[in-house]
Amino acid sequence: MRVLITNDDGIESPGIHELARQIGGAGYEVIVIAPDHDASGTGASLGRMGSGNPIAVTRSSIEGLEGPAYGIEGPPALCVLAGYLQALGPLPDVVVSGINAGLNTGRAALHSGTFGAALAGQNFGIRSLAVSIARAEDVWFWETAAAIAVEVLPTLTDAPERSALNLNVPGVPRGDVSGIRWSELGKFGAVKSAIEKVEDDKIHFHMVDSGYEPDELTDLATVRAGYASLTSIHGAAEVWGPDGEPGKMFHPDHGVHAASAGHELRPPKAVFETPVFDEPEFDKPG
């Protein structure tokens, strides 16, 4: 089973090093293809690519990992594309993105390069997992997130193609994690963007506490309760209604089917006829 590991914090991040070591140590064949720089916030962007724009590749190494590691001049989704096109090795069976330094909870995770890499893998037909961890004071419990990712991997590898999961882990030792719970994607994450100040030629953004009080079954509430949160995600969903359906001619009087009800996004049309995950070791919401 070949696993492509990437991230958005860059090839030198301790999170990706720990993740690669533990996945490799669990018997998986690992290749690391990650940005050669901090590519946080790039979502599923591929960056500048195409004819006349060659992408720089640097051979790297990770202590304790036998498999190859590369840093490339591009965002995480481009790393996944390079793996999918077999630029640096055989086609991977699974993409694992992380470990991100900080949670990727709520719909704001869409902007995360960690999350975006998993969506890219899904788009290319590869089962994918995004892994993020909360910060605890000045300590990052990388070992905890990596260990839980290894626990989740067998479920993902047995899932249908294009399955993608978002895993968020509390910043505590592994023994203090209460378990892994299936969770909904929250309306918001723990932080949000805000304008600090605007100058004549500059806009200063910064991150502030979102003030969001999450519902019990959401990913953020799950992590705050001491559990690892696991959410099945779908990136390129379609929304259709009675007026707008594939094959129908557009008319100006047609209405557009709502993609949300208030703050709640409607789920996409079911991709799988049967439940994807039925493993007993994970608790499902409700």
Alpha carbons 123 and 75: distance in angstroms, whole number: 16
Q: Which 3-state string (H, E, C) describes the chain? A: CEEEEECCCCCCCHHHHHHHHHHHHCCCEEEEEEECCCCCCCCCCCCCCCCCCCCCEEEECCCCCCCCEEEECCCHHHHHHHHHCCCCCCCCCEEEEEEEECCCCCHHHHHCHHHHHHHHHHHCCCEEEEEEECCECCECCHHHHHHHHHHHHHHHHCCCCCCEEEEEECCCCHHHCCCEEECECCCCCCEEEEEEEECCCCEEEEEEECCCCCCCCEHHHHHHCCCEEEEECCCCCCCCCCCCCCCCCCCCCCCCCCCEECCEECCCCCCCCCCCCCCCCCECCC
Predicted confidence (pLDDT) at residue 281 exceeds the cutoff of 70? no
Predicted confidence (pLDDT) at residue 284 exceeds the cutoff of 60? no
Alpha carbons 183 and 227: distance in angstroms, whole number: 10
The mean per-residue pLDDT over the stretch 232-253 comes to 80
The mean per-residue pLDDT over the stretch 17-24 comes to 98
Architecture of domain 2-189+215-234: 3-Layer(aba) Sandwich (3.40)
Alpha carbons 163 and 126: distance in angstroms, whole number: 7
- pLDDT tens digits, 166-210: 999 999 999 999 999 999 988 877 777 889 999 999 999 887 877
Domain with CATH 3.40.1210.10 in the chain: 2-189+215-234
Q: Please say whether the beta carbons of 201 and 130 come within 8 A.
A: no
- Per-residue confidence (pLDDT) for residue 271, from 0 to 100: 40
- Per-residue confidence (pLDDT) for residue 267, from 0 to 100: 55
- Per-residue confidence (pLDDT) for residue 85, from 0 to 100: 97
Crossing angle of helices 142-157 and 14-25, in 10° steps, is 50
Sole residue written with tokens 């793996």: 83
- Per-residue confidence (pLDDT) for residue 278, from 0 to 100: 44
pLDDT bucket at 274, cuts 50 / 70 / 90: very low
- pLDDT tens digits, 91-144: 999 999 999 999 999 988 889 999 999 999 999 999 999 999 999 888 999 999
The contacts of residue 65 (CB under 8 Å, 6+ apart) are: 17, 20, 21, 24, 30, 32
- Per-residue confidence (pLDDT) for residue 234, from 0 to 100: 85
Q: State percent of the chain over pLDDT 90.
A: 67
- Per-residue confidence (pLDDT) for residue 283, from 0 to 100: 52
- b or e along 3-30 (b: 16 or more beta carbons within 10 Å of the residue's beta carbon)? bbbbbbbbbebebbbbbbbbbbebebbb
- Per-residue confidence (pLDDT) for residue 21, from 0 to 100: 98
- pLDDT tens digits, 67-97: 999 999 999 999 999 999 999 999 999 999 9
Alpha carbons 214 and 258: distance in angstroms, whole number: 23
Alpha carbons 203 and 158: distance in angstroms, whole number: 46
Evaluate the CA torsion angle 212, 217, 223, 228 in order and state its sign. negative
- Per-residue confidence (pLDDT) for residue 261, from 0 to 100: 63
Q: When comparing pLDDT for 115 and 53, which is higher?
A: 115
- Per-residue confidence (pLDDT) for residue 260, from 0 to 100: 67
The mean per-residue pLDDT over the stretch 201-220 comes to 86
The mean per-residue pLDDT over the stretch 217-245 comes to 87
